[in-house]
Amino acid sequence: MMFWKLSVFSPKDPCVKSEYRNPKFETMSNTDESKRATIETITPLSAAAFKRNEGATAARRRRQWMTILVLLGSLALLVIGGGWLLYYLSRNPLQTKDITKIAPPLPAQVKQKAVQRQPEQPAAAVAPEKLSAQKEAAEQKLADYLAVKNKLDNLGAVDWGEAAYAEMLQLGEAADAAFMKKEYETAAEQYGRATLTANELIGRRSEVLARLLDEGLAALDAGDGVLAQQKFSVALAVDPTNPVARRGQARAKTIDAVTALIASGRQHEADGKLALASDDYRQAVELDAHSQTARRALENVNGRIRDDRFKQLVSEGLAAFHRQEYPLARNKLIQAGRLKPDSREVADALAQVDQAAHLARMAELQNKALVAEQAEDWQVALESYQAVLAIDPSVQFARQGKSRAAEQIRIAKRLDFFLNKPETLESDNQLKNASLLIAEAGEIESQGAQLKARIKKLERLVAIAKTPVKITLESDNLTQVAVYRVGKLGRFEVHELELRPGTYTVVGSREGFQDVRQKIVVKPGPQPIRITIKCKVKI
């Protein structure tokens, strides 16, 4: 809405100038003094006194020039306004059939009055006070209308208001025309209806915003970046901070590149070049992370790649299984399982591989244990049987082999004890234990050469330890003689004993003399041993 400032001289006082503000310019003829005399003041803006001594001729000439300038300005305004109206209609053609969808239908008579100007009728005489009040009310309605129209324009309603916005403009123009004809009541009513239409349009802003966003997103899905940018730009005019519109506008700038990458990926997919297709889709997602088309295409082609890789790994794993390359088969199947953790096929194949690998491992350990038994390496045999039982505790040969190996190791350790320390056989208890060990070792079924050799060696040592050696003791028949572990022998000059090999202590005692003590070592052999024991040192 534009205002023009018009200065007109009152015929009552040619030296007083009044200024008017009117929504439309009213053309006057400079020769029609009577018409100028009937023009009323609309809105006084300012008044200035002119010098009283200016001549009437100068004032009349000034009024004539002013009238000419006003006529030229009005003509220019009409030309500009007509051109703008043609441009607007070319960009936003009126869609009369949609007006009922946006605003409530107007009564036919009022609608016709808003669109078509009625033929001018001679105005009925109205009292000046009432006319002034009607004019003031119309101006208030005009101000309300301009305020809400300005708000709509700031929201970009010219781009989304469609028929309702066009209807509002028509009502406003009809009100302007009525105001120019001083039909203030009609103007106020039309301004009111225009304001009502504008407010209803503002109330539909959320609905319009949702529609624009949906249309923008649909345009993105269709790959129409130009249309998408247009929709989101209008949406941002309605709501400048809307995140969906901002994101959509940014996506619209890259939609052409994204669409091209998707098309390239689909072509690679059709050619069976899945890796290249995946690369194209991945780049499309990087350009537009919100593109569901690109994301679904990427997931689909990656799924196909994963399926192909899965089938390849399962095939390689089964081939290695048939070649009895169980570690390789297991490795391939585990990789396949990572691609499809819930695959029953992989689980069954792994079970078969593990079972076969266990059987093969147990057979290998059993063979190793048997070789160790033959070599009488019972520690290795025991470890082999224990390894088999770690795989399957119910394997019978491993349980029996473990017991057999443990018994051999126990007997061998006891035999080695006596063989490495034969002096322990000097003890009657240890000699008895050695004899029992020889009997126990002889009952073992699996007697290897090493075990037999140990038993025979211990038998010899036991036999020697049991064979007594002849000992001759000499004294003075005054010394009391005793042998530890044998007993008291009394006084004698010569006394013979038979002692088993070992270490003995002979003690001599006599009253008034120091005791004598002598250790003798009895070793097996045919040579007799002579010992003299006498107390000779007096106390």
Q: At what angle do helices 184-203 and 108-115 cross, to 10 degrees?
A: 100
DSSP letter at 503 equals E
Q: What's the pLDDT score for residue 159?
A: 74
Q: pLDDT for 114-145, tens place per residue?
A: 444 444 454 455 688 888 888 888 889 889 88
Q: Is the pLDDT of residue 314 over 90?
A: yes
327-351 core/surface letters (b: 16 or more CB in 10 A; e: else): ebbbbbbebbbebeeebeebeebbe
Could you report the per-residue pLDDT of 367-391, keeping only the tens digit for each? 999 999 898 899 999 999 999 999 8
How confident is the model over 414-440, as a mean pLDDT? 87
Q: Each residue of 338-368: pLDDT tens digit?
A: 988 988 999 999 999 998 988 988 999 999 9
Between these two residues, 524 and 33, which has the higher pLDDT value?
524
Strand duo 4-9 + 16-22: pairing: antiparallel
pLDDT tens-place string over residues 428-444: 888 889 889 888 888 88
CATH top-level class of 204-342: mainly alpha
d(CA 107, CA 113): 10
- Cα radius of gyration (the chain): 63
> How far apart are the C-alpha atoms of 238 and 215, rounded to whole Å?
15
Q: Which tops the pLDDT comparison, 63 or 317?
A: 317
pTM above 0.75, yes or no: no
Contact 231, 253 (CB under 8 A): no
Residue-wise pLDDT for 212-249, tens only, equals 888 888 888 787 778 887 788 788 777 788 888 888 87
Higher pLDDT, 21 or 423: 423
What pLDDT score was predicted for residue 117? 47
- The topology (CATH level 3) of 469-532 is Immunoglobulin-like (2.60.40)
pLDDT of res. 38: 35
d(CA 247, CA 438): 95
Confidence grade of residue 89 (pLDDT, cut at 50, 70, 90)? low
Q: State both tokens at 370.
A: 């048997």
